[in-house]
Amino acid sequence: MTGGNLSNATGITVNANGTIQLTGSNVPLSANPGTTLITGQVTSPSINILGSQVGLLSAKLDASTPGQGGTILIGGDYQGKGTVPSASQTFVSGDTQILANSLLKGDGGRVIVWSNDNTQFLGTISARGSTGKGGFVEVSGKNALTFGGQVDVSAPNGLLGTLLLDPTTLTIVDAPAGGTFDATAGNIPFGLPDNGANTVSWGRSPPWALGQMLACKRREI
């Protein structure tokens, strides 16, 4: 997937060459079988959004429960492992909400946003704990990740949860609602000195809660 005015990508245009274009962006998706596009609301304690290419446009996925927060898998499972099929590309629009909160008593839920190639995430994830600890969220692509969204794994009465970003190349961008894709800053070495392919390109990161943890993990190839 390519960059563009990603936060405004809320519609679909069918091109003459058979591809599907996210309106207001430069993000093309193949119209071949296996492409999954989700818009609107899905509510269930367990939600799997899978396909060879996955796009969430103005969607709301809600796996919140009174007890332990639910599980949401988008494009694959943790680090692309397990028996769940993995997408090659995953896109989440800026007005998409993903919720896996514990509403009354329990830990926050588990949310995975994954692709085997390129993931672009501009939406909002909440996996808040209630009486327990915050949830676990992974947002990653095996080769590249553009991160311009917000993640909340807080817990008012327990330990904070974890946000894992685990690509080969990570770009954190300033992408507010109605804004434009901004990744003009230079590169910062990331990983071992002899692994120059791993870089972090900084725009402006979203605000972080006091004590919130960001885990950036170098991928072993």
Q: Is residue 11 in a domain?
A: no
What pLDDT is stored for residue 15 in this prediction? 54
- DSSP-derived secondary structure letter, 78: G
**pLDDT of 138 over the 70 cut:** yes
SS3 106: coil
Q: Is residue 3 in a domain?
A: no
**pLDDT of 7 over the 80 cut:** no
Check if the beta carbon of residue 113 is closer than 8 Å to that of residue 121. yes
Q: Is residue 145 in a domain?
A: yes
Q: What integer is the mean pLDDT of 145-156?
A: 92
Q: Is residue 2 in a domain?
A: no
Range of the domain at 172: 36-216
What pLDDT is stored for residue 28 in this prediction? 55
Q: Is residue 72 in a domain?
A: yes
Q: Is residue 77 in a domain?
A: yes
Q: Is residue 151 in a domain?
A: yes
pTM of this prediction?
A: 0.70
**pLDDT of 117 over the 80 cut:** yes
Q: What integer is the mean pLDDT of 52-56?
A: 92
